[in-house]
Structure 1
Amino acid sequence: MKRIAPRGFTLLESIVSLVILGLVGSAFAYYLAWGAQGYVTSRESTQGSLAAQIALERLSFEIKAIVPRTTVSAATNQITYETSGNPNIPATRTLALDAANGRITLDGNLLLDGIATSNPTPTLTVNTYTTDVSGDGATNDIESIVLNFSLAALPSMVFTKEIHPRGLVTLSP
């Protein structure tokens, strides 16, 4: 009588198949999680960058709208200036960088929050020319206003905007 071999997998073949399937599955899960983490990081970076870009464009618009031949007063991380033309906008505006709380405000209204409070330390700087440009005998004519910050959610990205007023503006003593 001829013996017929049983059909199917042996126990050893089943265990080896499960081990191989487990290795392939764990590698797939690792790459799936890696891709999902990349997507989330990309989305957060895009949102933070967009918010910073909008705030910087608004600041650029504000600084360029300073009335020529006026005086800008500056304190630590704050400037006060006059704007022109629009009756719906207050004539005197204050732009402030609240470095301790990580926000930029315009007339007390929030413009951008989530700013990192260190590394780099956020700054709002008013640069003046080293020579007398206006002819009044003083070297207080504003060349540019510089804002430098990074977002807490994106510490590796540093945002810097140097804005030059359209007209001649002087810094109050």
Structure 2
Amino acid sequence: MKHNVPGTGGFTLIEVIVSLLLMGIISAIWGMGIVQIVEGFLFSRQNIETLQKGQITMSRLVKEFQALTEISPDPLPNSSAITFARDSDIPGVRRTIAFDSINGEIKIDEDVLVDQVNFFKLEYYKRFDSETPVSPTTESYSEITIIDIRIGIKGAENTVAEFNNRVFLRGVAG
């Protein structure tokens, strides 16, 4: 003869509810972890893009400055702009590299080289062993043989990546 003992045939309603609550809590914690991983991935990707933009910009500026043969006195070079001639340009043609602070862009002539720029600074030196930059005047601009370039580009969450380089001008007689 078979006897049915109450409570041995399955789960009670309380056991089912508790197990569902535990699974919900575990799923929520797991989901928050996945969100954090995705946010970290996106942050890293944006910073990598910023670094690439900065490296490409700096490479282009170094190439432009290494090829220059003459710095134009009109307008005089300043901390955020320079006008110059290169050896590969048509005689009499001048190029201008300038920082558009309103739009946050560095432009070569009217073409945008890079956007999301926080700052762009050029410092000029007469000699490599000089620690003090010069402010070019109409008498001294032709003696510039070194340009320090500093750029700050906004990246993920508005962090600013800084890029620095020193260019020794090959085409200018100092």
Give me the TM-score of the superposition, normalised by structure 1: 0.77
Structure 1: gaps (5+ residues): 131-137
Using the alignment, how far apart are the partners of 2:53 and 2:92 within structure 1? 24
Deviates more, 1:99-108 or 1:55-64: 99-108
Q: How does 1:1-173 map to 2 (within 5 A)?
A: 2-5=3-6, 6-67=8-69, 70-73=70-73, 74-87=77-90, 91-116=93-118, 121-129=119-127, 141-154=143-156, 155-169=159-173
How far residue 90 of structure 1 moved from its aligned partner, in angstroms, is 7.4
RMSD, aligned α-carbons? 2.7
Residue 80 of structure 1 aligns to a residue in which SS? strand
Check whether the contact 1:128–1:140 (CA below 8 A) recurs between aligned residues: no
Spell out, residue by residue over 1:24-47, the C-alpha distance to the aligned partner (whole angstroms, 9 max, x if none). 101110111011111111111111
Residue 75 of structure 1 aligns to a residue in which SS? coil
Using the alignment, how far apart are the partners of 1:82 and 1:58 within structure 2? 15
Residue 122 of structure 1 aligns to a residue in which SS? strand
CA distance change for structure 1 residues 90 and 34 in 2, over 3 Å: closer, same or farther?
A: farther
Q: Paired residues, what number?
A: 157
Check whether the contact 2:71–2:141 (CA below 8 A) recurs between aligned residues: no
Structure 2: gaps (5+ residues): 131-139
How far residue 92 of structure 1 moved from its aligned partner, in angstroms, is 1.6
